[in-house]
């Protein structure tokens, strides 16, 4: 299981194939020094997870990595199975307790060592 957080950049239309298989893809942009656009897919009944998600929403996606070989080439899909809305990715500075009054070590604030 993997998780990745970001802002929803794109939501594509649902695709239905001849066998009755359905999937829907979407892209999130990560909030890193070098942002990445990462595409995920939802299959079958998991497509409903996108019903409450819109472009621009902050989400955390739980997903599995799926790989396969086809005609000597290898492909990787990121198969999402859970989407959580809202901020994530660690505590913010304002979430912590307030800082206590800081006293300089050694007594007076004007007592400098040089």
Q: For 32-83, what is each residue's pLDDT tens digit?
A: 999 999 999 999 999 999 999 999 999 999 999 999 999 999 999 999 999 9
The yes/no answer on whether domain 2-90 falls in CATH 2.40.50.140 is yes
Q: Does residue 102 register a pLDDT over 50?
A: no
How would you classify residue 72: left for phi > 0, otherwise alpha for psi between -120 and 50, otherwise beta? left
Using alpha carbons, list the distances in angstroms from residue 60 to 11, 45, 101.
Answer: 15, 19, 37
- Per the confidence metrics, is the pTM higher than 0.85? no
Cα(25)–Cα(12) distance, integer angstroms: 5
Other beta carbons less than 10 A from residue 89's beta carbon = 14
Pick 1 or 76 by higher pLDDT. Answer: 76
Q: What's the pLDDT score for residue 105?
A: 56
Helices (H) and strands (E) in the chain, counts: 0, 6
């Amino acid at each position: 299981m993997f998780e990745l957080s970001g802002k929803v950049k794109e939501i594509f239309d649902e695709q239905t194939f001849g066998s009755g298989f359905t999937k829907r893809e979407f892209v999130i942009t990560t909030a890193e020094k070098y942002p990445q656009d990462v595409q995920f897919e939802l299959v079958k009944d998991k497509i409903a997870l996108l019903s409450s998600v819109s472009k621009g929403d902050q989400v955390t996606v739980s997903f599995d990595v799926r790989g396969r070989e086809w005609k000597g080439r290898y492909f990787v899909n990121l198969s999402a199975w859970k989407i959580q809305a809202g901020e994530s990715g660690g505590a913010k500075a304002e979430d912590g307790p307030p800082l206590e009054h800081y006293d300089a070590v050694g007594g007076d604030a004007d007592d400098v060592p040089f």
